Amino acid sequence: MRAAAGDSADMAHVDLYWLPLGAGGHFVRVNGRVYEWLKARIERREPLNLYHSALEVDVPEGRYVIEMTPIPGGNPAARGVVAEGPVGSRRLNRLRLFRYEIRRWRGGAIPDVGEAVDSPRRLTDDARAARCLLELVPSVPTYVWGRDQMRAHDMWNSNSLVAWLLVLSSIGAEAVKPPAGGRAPGWRAGAVAAGQASTRAELPSSAARASRIATKRPTKIGVSRSV
């Protein structure tokens, strides 16, 4: 599950956090349980606990939190927002309630991290892989949250963001599993989308990107303006 060791002697790491769906919010938690109960009935299995994932990336330049969240009020740049996407339908994305944001937040915090389960999980301590992942964040596709636009039999959501980044940064997503007794909807969708991006050559290969990033000055990692 670790990225191949690089030549850089910089200290860095990528940690993953699993948060129960709806942590800190009763409404989301109840809806999630109803959704999972219905899904389990259709698939003829027992309901499982649902988890949302987020990343914390430490590099010599600073510590970053990477996460997909609803859009609160305030200044997006202060939260390191690099992109926004629609929730449910693109026709509704003029309303903030029906948009999500993707954060690459330097010095930020994961909301309700105190409720994280079996976390943090160290995925790599390779500095080049960590920088590669950081540079990839603004390139994440902004598919419609809750929809299966890749026909992956899975919805696009916050877990898709994390899986997409892990695949294309060569850290790897296949071996990453949610806590026992749980599942992470959207994980497969992210892996499928990453495979499609790689096949279409929409992004440079992760190895070439990592090599290029390793030669950049540390100050090159910054925060893009929100879209």
> Pick from 102, 104, 86: which is nearest to 94 by CA?
86
pLDDT digits (tens, 9 = 90+) for 175-226: 999 999 999 999 999 999 999 887 665 554 444 444 343 333 333 454 443 3
> Pick from 189, 178, 215: which is nearest to 21 by CA?
178
Identity at 126, one-letter amino acid code:
D
Q: Which residues contact 198 (CB under 8 A, 6 or more apart)?
A: 167, 168, 205
Q: What is the mean pLDDT of residues 78-100?
A: 91
Identity at 105, one-letter amino acid code:
W
Between CA 194 and CA 167 the distance in angstroms is: 6
Q: Please return the burial class of 174, using the count of CB atoms within 10 Å of its CB with bins 0-12, 13-18 and 19+.
A: exposed
> Pick from 21, 65, 38: which is nearest to 186 by CA?
21
Between CA 119 and CA 139 the distance in angstroms is: 26
Q: pLDDT > 90: what percent of the chain?
A: 58
Between CA 54 and CA 24 the distance in angstroms is: 15
pLDDT digits (tens, 9 = 90+) for 31-83: 556 665 676 678 788 878 899 999 999 999 999 999 999 999 899 999 999 99
Instruction: Please indicate, yes or no, whether the overall pTM of this predicted structure exceeds 0.85.
Output: no
The H or E element that residue 78 is part of is none
Q: Residue 76: what are its φ and ψ, rounded to 5°?
A: -60, -35
